[in-house]
């Protein structure tokens, strides 16, 4: 599937400020990029070898700064039948995947093992377990703008039963780790999101790959274009700054290109991972 | 029903210490006391007019101190048919009951309204709602010694899904308040508790009285003899001290007296409240 | 000193809603009221014998409702020299004051004993201790609108170091209880508050009375007119409702009446308590 | 300096259990190992390229298992004059160091920026800032066995003002990140620790290297032999298991070898990092 994705950001730096942007789509066997283009202040760039995250670090003088990113992305997802996607026993997990079993700032999976095992521990395949976690979140947590803030963890969301995409992803990650399956946060461009904005979903490590999950049901899982991955939102902000910034007025766009008939949402297990 | 209840405590004061004991059974139309006797250091006593809680305040010199309490208690519970015990609309609640709707140290009911209303809000009578809360707690929380401590709130227990009687009571109170029904903590002597110790249950204000509930299912609800009531455990410790104490080695005894045939646990709604 | 105080509120009830207002000034030997007048929907009223809080409970049909309160208040504070106002040993506190030593929803004083004793435990009189607590809060916490919300406790404020009047009061209460001095929340009309609104301060029980404290330094301590007292803000909201309300647009007014020369802020210890 | 370090562990597996040990000293230009020897059940091993952490993964059948590790370690620390060790501006930090600025499970640095900047932000060199953080922790937090547990975060420790080495490290990391300096958790063998056990300290990234810090003052900073590094204790357990284990009885030994005269604790800035 082919997509045109992009965003326009505007920030006002009050003092000299270091800004780290992570708004550019990942390049991988699952995501091929054409016409990948950033316009804005120049800085240094870094593509993390292990994850494919692409960072752009900018030192901004006081004043107004504009940033623009555009890419054409072809996704080549690996599609699997959900009940055939098994979890990998901990004894067989790659060592570099193991840290995604551990608790992180917004995903205190250490606190939720009892609930997670009782509720999801006996389900079928690994993919079915994580899908059951997503279904449970969708049915039990209200999607409600303004119901959370930057300090809200999955411990809070589990009690409050309200949140936004970031909170849904955090709770999904937390419960998935709590049943012994590695999980990580994914920031993304997402098709059909209304209003259009950056999106947050998550991946679980199953059958030797990272499969995508979205407990919000706000967009089709094969309409996800990955930007950054990390332990949770603390790792994966689209913008991190050190100094004083105001903003951003932002516009995000995601369009499906090519010969697009009306399409059902997929029921496949979908992975964009580079393995 | 007639009970013999009592306890023996021993404390070692390291420095001069003020100790407030709340170990004596309440006196009310529902609980008549005979041979009510405290033995130990003398101090001043206070019976709270609104609640019936009986406090004994002692100023202890450094050294070892022994305390003993014994009473024969006849309980005369009001028994009702659960599905006939309706909740009182907030507009009709006595004003002095209203504070038991508000969040307290261990019962942050403000955080749990969404879950509580979704899960219990549409059930039948008030008593059935609170009983459903107790059933939910029993089925979803593990009773586990050592799984909580003095700072554990219902927010923690709801996530951790483990606790002891005090935590079960706190979660019950929190969910009950969250659906708009006043609830309070009760410290008690309890029949058939193994090992025998002080117990913690709770009361909900329904149909003009305070009805007893125990989500632990560790003892029959008509085997409860009330000691203290309060917003939560912060109000209702059997011993509070200011200074330095070690202890207590403690022995608690509760026996059923009289002609006691083998008896089924009651399914009645039970209230010992003075109204 | 003579004040004119008052407020105008407007609420829109979406469904039938029970509203409990606590906006009327307390009547006591320290606060004499003239021309005390509420205008709005009628309901039942209750003045709590122990505290003097005045509640008005209204059952609102769907639609817009207006509420107005005005009073002329003469305050007759007890003024004392701060370093002569001693704390009362726990062994001598009235029993009905003791619950104000215990932790509450927003004031988890059980968590802060080490800090409080180390920082404030060895200071002079009780009033000096509590004043030192207020000074510490003023110097270490930023007053910042929007930095907290309805779930923010003193545990959060102590870490975040930002808050509004309610948070300053909660932290003051928490630290005061943590050094063994009873403390409670006070909602109030306050002179010179900019922008004018309801205010939150606290009282500590010292030398047999409740003395006023305000860590925000936003208004003179003898410019406080007390509305409600309670364990913390969970007990002491100016409006509590059960149902669905939007609002309120609100106007609060506080004026000094009579022959008012420019006046220094007092350095006295000030109490408006009825004892 | 030359050390002999080692440990003996015994675990009882109740069911088949996957155990991941991280008890072996790191190999780096700062830590040269001789006679590095593990004895116990065999499994697969992994040395993380980025960090040098050495993991051993074992699949244990039910029953008792013994593990033994011994090594002779020569440390070759880089020693610097503390006030010459400057922090690196965020705009110049290596990209792979940046995640150590972000909040993690036990180190919610996002919550503590106000306090950290106010208290430490204006001090001299980066090393002096972090040392001031350590001094502040040492002076304000009590080292107290049993005062914390596996869910205790730096947010808790900052309020409670008590903890053990792990909590001291978490609070140090949190405050260091909060002033914009990358920091990470270090598990270690440590000279002169009483009773001898594994130790927890932390590193801050300054002047292009990771410098060691220990807020507990329980052992000399050049008596540290590094085992594992990570975001916090969630990443850096000496043993992580999936299954059911009891244990461990453990013995840890650390000895200084060679011609050791009585020695003052160093006042140098000390780094064992491989860069």
Confidence of residue D118 (pLDDT cuts 50, 70, 90): very high
How many residue contacts between B and C have a Cβ separation below 8 Å? 67
What is the Cα–Cα distance from B271 to C139, expressed in whole angstroms? 51
Helix (H, G, I), strand (E, B) or coil at A5: strand
Q: What is the mean pLDDT of chain D?
A: 94
D41, D87: one domain: no
**What is the structure's pLDDT at C261?**
63
Q: What is the mean pLDDT of chain A?
A: 94
B149, B190: one domain: yes
Considering CB atoms only, which of A95, A103, A150 is closest to D234?
A103
Query: How many angstroms separate the CA of residue A139 from the nearest CA in chain B?
Result: 11
- Domain that includes residue B23, residue range: 2-76+242-258
Residue A188 has pLDDT above 70, yes or no: yes
B119, B30: one domain: no
B136, B104: one domain: yes
How deeply is D177 buried, as exposed, middle or buried, from its count of CB atoms within 10 A (0-12, 13-18, 19+)? buried
Angle made by CA atoms C41, C47, C51, in degrees to the nearest 5: 140
In Å, the largest CA–CA distance within chain D is: 56
Is D33:D25 a contact under the CB 8 Å cutoff? yes
B106, B200: one domain: yes
pLDDT tens-digit series, residues A226-240? 999 999 999 999 999
pLDDT tens-digit series, residues D146-175? 999 999 999 999 999 999 999 999 999 999
Those chains having 3 or more beta-carbon pairs within 8 angstroms of chain B are A, C
Residue A274 has pLDDT above 70, yes or no: no
Q: Percent helix, strand and coil across chain B, each rounded to 5?
A: 20, 40, 40
D209, D246: one domain: no
A59, A99: one domain: no
Residues of chain B in contact with residue A158, where contact means CB-CB under 8 angstroms, are 158-159
pLDDT tens-digit series, residues A29-74? 999 999 999 999 999 999 999 899 999 999 999 999 999 999 999 9
**What is the structure's pLDDT at B249?**
82
Residues of chain A in contact with residue B162, where contact means CB-CB under 8 angstroms, are 114
Considering CB atoms only, which of D112, D156, D161 is closest to C114?
D161
Average pLDDT over residues D186-207: 96
Q: What is the mean pLDDT of chain B?
A: 94
Average pLDDT over residues B45-70: 96
- CATH of residue A33's domain is 2.60.40.2250
A47, A157: one domain: no
Count of structural domains within chain A = 2
Each of the 275 residues of chain C gets a pLDDT tens digit; together they read 999 999 999 999 999 999 999 999 999 999 999 999 999 999 999 999 989 999 999 999 999 999 999 999 999 999 999 999 999 999 999 999 999 999 999 999 999 999 999 999 988 899 999 999 999 999 999 999 999 999 999 999 999 999 999 999 999 999 999 999 999 999 999 999 999 999 999 999 999 999 999 999 999 999 999 999 999 999 999 999 999 999 878 899 999 998 666 667 888 899 998 65
How crowded is residue B5: how many other Cβ atoms within 10 Å of its Cβ?
A: 24
- CATH of residue D98's domain is 3.10.620.30
Query: How many angstroms separate the CA of residue C158 from the nearest CA in chain D?
Result: 7
Nearest of A88, A80, A94 to residue A30 by alpha carbon: A80
Interface mutation vs chain A, best among D103, D174, D239, most A CBs within 10 Å:
D103
Residues of chain C in contact with residue D142, where contact means CB-CB under 8 angstroms, are 114
Q: How many CA atoms lie within 13 A of B105 on its CB side?
A: 26
A173, A186: one domain: yes
pLDDT tens-digit series, residues B39-49? 999 999 999 99
Residue B262 has pLDDT above 70, yes or no: no
**What is the structure's pLDDT at D260?**
67
* C-alpha distances out from residue B75 to B2, B32, B221, B230, D70, Å: 6, 6, 12, 21, 67
**What is the structure's pLDDT at B148?**
95
Considering CB atoms only, which of C90, C99, C234 is closest to B235?
C99
Those chains having 3 or more beta-carbon pairs within 8 angstroms of chain C are B, D
pLDDT tens-digit series, residues D9-52? 999 999 999 999 999 999 999 999 999 999 999 999 999 998 99
Tokens of B46: 């206070």
**What is the structure's pLDDT at A264?**
75
A101, A215: one domain: yes
Interface mutation vs chain C, best among D112, D118, D137, D160, most C CBs within 10 Å:
D160
Confidence of residue B260 (pLDDT cuts 50, 70, 90): low
In this complex, do C235 and B151 lie within 8 Å of one another by their Cβ atoms?
A: no
Q: Please, what is the angle between helix A126-140 and helix A165-178, to 10°?
A: 140
In this complex, do B20 and C98 lie within 8 Å of one another by their Cβ atoms?
A: yes
Query: How many angstroms separate the CA of residue D260 from the nearest CA in chain A?
Result: 40
Average pLDDT over residues B205-224: 96
* C-alpha distances out from residue A241 to A39, A200, A246, C6, D183, Å: 19, 20, 10, 45, 18
Q: Which helix (H) or strand (E) holds B71?
A: strand B63-75
Q: Percent helix, strand and coil across chain A, each rounded to 5?
A: 20, 40, 40
Confidence of residue B264 (pLDDT cuts 50, 70, 90): confident
**What is the structure's pLDDT at D205?**
97
Residues of chain C in contact with residue B59, where contact means CB-CB under 8 angstroms, are 91
D91, D188: one domain: yes
Those chains having 3 or more beta-carbon pairs within 8 angstroms of chain D are A, C
B86, B48: one domain: no
**What is the structure's pLDDT at B266?**
87
């Amino acid at each position: 599937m082919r997509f045109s994705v992009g965003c326009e950001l505007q920030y006002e730096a009050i003092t000299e400020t270091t800004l780290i942007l992570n708004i550019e789509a990942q390049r991988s066997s699952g995501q091929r990029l054409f016409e990948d283009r950033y316009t804005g202040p120049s800085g240094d760039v870094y593509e993390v070898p292990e994850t494919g995250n692409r960072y752009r670090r900018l030192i901004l003088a006081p004043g107004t700064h504009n940033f623009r990113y555009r890419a054409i992305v072809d996704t080549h997802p690996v599609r699997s039948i959900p009940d055939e996607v098994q979890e990998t026993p901990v004894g067989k997990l790659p060592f570099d995947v193991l840290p995604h079993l551990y608790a992180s700032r917004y995903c205190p999976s250490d606190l939720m093992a009892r609930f997670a095992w009782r509720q999801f521990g006996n389900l079928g395949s690994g993919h079915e377990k994580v899908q059951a976690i997503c279904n449970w979140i969708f049915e039990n947590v209200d999607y409600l703008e303004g119901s959370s803030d930057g300090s809200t963890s999955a411990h809070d969301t589990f009690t409050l039963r309200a949140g936004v995409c970031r909170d849904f992803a955090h709770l999904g990650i937390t419960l998935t780790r709590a049943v012994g399956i590695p999980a990580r946060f994914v920031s993304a461009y997402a098709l059909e999101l209304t209003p259009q904005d950056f999106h947050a979903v998550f991946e679980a490590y199953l059958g030797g790959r990272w499969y995508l999950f979205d407990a919000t049901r706000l967009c089709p899982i094969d309409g996800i274009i990955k930007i950054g991955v990390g332990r949770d939102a603390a790792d994966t902000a689209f913008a991190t700054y050190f100094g004083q910034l105001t903003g951003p007025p932002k516009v995000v766009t995601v369009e499906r290109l090519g010969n697009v008939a009306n399409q059902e949402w997929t029921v496949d297990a979908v992975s964009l991972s580079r393995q």
